[in-house]
Structure 1
């Protein structure tokens, strides 16, 4: 129809005034239209959330695995149990040497990683076991059995710093019950890891290695198994969550 306007009529002045008052200012009313997020943005956000969740789960697993060992060190070093310990506590602990060369009694190479996962009651003795060797190996067996239901948390390890043959009788002895893990290791590498007390030799001590391969404790040269057991009991109590079976 000629003469008519194509745009919608303006709102009455009274209505405009009321709407502006409701908005809290005197500025003209305006409307903003937000665009919807793109599919690629949503996918990226979902990926970030999955990555964050995966990292949190990984940290949780690491924390659970490390907690028992951390608890033992907290008990011994933070709570200052050194004064009550019968054994020599090694501060700082000594890590398993990188590239440690190990062989079984048949000359087959053994990965040093196999030493990890358990507490290791460790003796260093020659292939031809003498009276000193017999005494410490007996104490090693005795200490493990004295742990009762906790004994599966401990393994027996015999480190041999020479290449002499081990007699059939001795092989049979260390295979009885829970076997002793017998491994040959070069003397220089062994001495770079474990140390005797001043004035003594490696073969006079029993050494304790923790589940991640760190040397943390050494018995006196004249080992009293009942006193050494008290130190092990503290470790077990601090590591109540460590329940992996023996290797």
Structure 2
């Protein structure tokens, strides 16, 4: 009789322990939501552009060969885009450097990413910049058309940001002015990992 009572008590404690283990995640989630109250619903560093903005079909770009093509012709891979004048000041060069480094750190996935510099004037590109970024597509585009497509903030211009366009040609993310390249890398790595397109 004593052994039966001991087994019954052990069974009750075991059942209680299982209930606690199963209920702990639920209790923790309620505590997190109602007490800690996390802000926002995204873990990305860049700002998601909602709704997505497709590359305008009428937006054309011109290469150094003088040939004008639709920017939409670059669809098919992930595009990291920077906008600046051709003289490329220090802030411009920093963005180009960040884009190159973020792409390079993607390892075997880097071929899925194309870095694009959209120049808004006819100023000659310094030889130093051309030599440092041979893999960056350097194309000319009209400043008004770019400003209409690429959203800035109330306190910034499109030339302050790096933008990300998905392989379907949708503008989907804007990185902050004076961005942290390691955080841009994290976003791009996650997108390449979870996306099968491009």
TM-score band, normalised by shorter chain: 0.7 to 0.9
SS of the equivalent of 1:135 reads helix
TM-score by length of structure 2 reads 0.75
Query: Aligned residue for 1:127?
Result: 86
- Residues 1-247 of structure 1: matches in 2 within 5 Å? 82-175=41-134, 179-239=135-195, 241-242=196-197
TM-score by length of structure 1 reads 0.61
Aligned length: 159
Partners of 2:167 and 2:41 in 1: CA distance:
20
Query: Following TM superposition, by how much is the alpha carbon of 1:82 offset from its aligned partner in structure 2, in angstroms?
Result: 4.5
Partners of 2:155 and 2:75 in 1: CA distance:
30
Query: Following TM superposition, by how much is the alpha carbon of 1:98 offset from its aligned partner in structure 2, in angstroms?
Result: 2.0
RMSD of the TM alignment (CA)?
1.6
Larger Rg: 1
CA contact (8 A) 1:125 1:133 kept: yes
5+ residue gaps, structure 2: 1-39
CA contact (8 A) 2:114 2:136 kept: yes
Query: Aligned residue for 1:41?
Result: none
Partners of 1:85 and 1:197 in 2: CA distance:
17
Partners of 2:97 and 2:130 in 1: CA distance:
15
Query: Following TM superposition, by how much is the alpha carbon of 1:190 offset from its aligned partner in structure 2, in angstroms?
Result: 0.7
Partners of 1:153 and 1:183 in 2: CA distance:
19
Partners of 1:106 and 1:166 in 2: CA distance:
14
Partners of 1:230 and 1:167 in 2: CA distance:
31
CA contact (8 A) 1:82 1:89 kept: no
Query: Aligned residue for 2:31?
Result: none
When you count strand as a share of all residues, which structure comes out higher? Answer: 2
Query: Following TM superposition, by how much is the alpha carbon of 1:229 offset from its aligned partner in structure 2, in angstroms?
Result: 1.5
